Chain A
Amino acid sequence: MYHYVSTVEGKLKNNINLKNIIKSMMPGGSVIGCPKIRTLQLLNSQEKEGRNIFTGSFGFIKFNMDMRFNIIIRSILNFKNVSEISAASGVVLDSSSKKEFSENYIKAKSLLELFK
């Protein structure tokens, strides 16, 4: 399994505020695909259940407006007596279904083992 990490740097234009930044960053391209708006529509019509907090984000905004947010993956959502674990992978035209399935299994495995 591979995780790709890229550092993106830039300078903000003068008229950009926090709301603009969050609105254009979320949902993250890595959990949606490209072109973002069209793939969002396709995913909404294909995925049978809502993602809940999975692939959403949490973080903090400091008083000086610095902020830090993540994309929620490898997480357990506990509610009453039910725990929910989600795993997913990005699919491209030449992906193999078998390999994608094993990738998702590897991703969920460490969390699933906590429940044995």
Chain B
Amino acid sequence: MIYIIDHQDSFTWNVVHQFSQFDKVHCSDYFDINKKLLNKSDVIVFSPGPGSPKDYPETSKIYNKYKGKKKMIGICLGFQLILYNEGGKIRQQNKIYHGYQSKIKVNGKSKIFKKNKVFNIGRYHSLKLNEPYFSKNLNITMRCTKTNTAMAFEDNLNKIYGFQFHPDSFLTENGNFFIKKILSSK
């Protein structure tokens, strides 16, 4: 079962719909967690949402509690929230991307996606990861081909993954592919 933690984003329902194609999904607001179900879940997904990671200390607590114990996936705000908990600094972008399609490229650090593969993806974010950023286990694996902004990461040791873009968006071509690959990775 997949537990989706909703940060009250309108996109969350697209995320729920997308993940429901692969497994049973339970979704609840970040302030109204069903602890029993969360504990029983195989995968935890941190939804997109307004604001910045520091606005959601409850979700950070959940992340740190289950880190290394369950597979976790962050999308947009969820992506930033994981990086924030892993020592990353999240800052405002110079150019804000709301409803933009960009090209992203997979680099050699990915163990799940093919190196140099280019994808068309949909972006809806004001903030981004401040770089340079270094982490022992977590690697940035996809970047915007134009601005070099971090667009995906993998921590294959702890099974933690994130997408700055929206695999759930119609602007992302073949968005299900990303989710399928992450969910099936061992």
Contacts and interface: CB of A to CB of B under 8 A. Distances in A.
B98 A93 contact: yes
B8 interface: yes
B8 A35 contact: yes
* Most chain B beta-carbon contacts within 10 A, residue among A29, A35, A37, A92: A35
Interface in A90-111: 92-93
A11 B24 CA distance: 18
Interface residues of B, number: 11
Given A35-B50, A38-B50, A38-B51, A92 B98 contact: yes
Interface string B1-38: 00000001111000000000000000000000000000
A96 to B, nearest CB: 16
Interface residues of A, number: 8
A34 B49 CA distance: 10
Given A34-B10, A35-B9, A93 B50 contact: no
A92 B96 CA distance: 11
A35 B98 contact: no
20 contacts: A29-B10, A34-B10, A34-B11, A35-B8, A35-B9, A35-B10, A35-B11, A35-B48, A35-B49, A35-B50, A36-B10, A37-B8, A38-B8, A38-B49, A38-B50, A38-B51, A92-B98, A92-B99, A93-B96, A93-B98
Interface of B: 8-11, 48-51, 96, 98-99
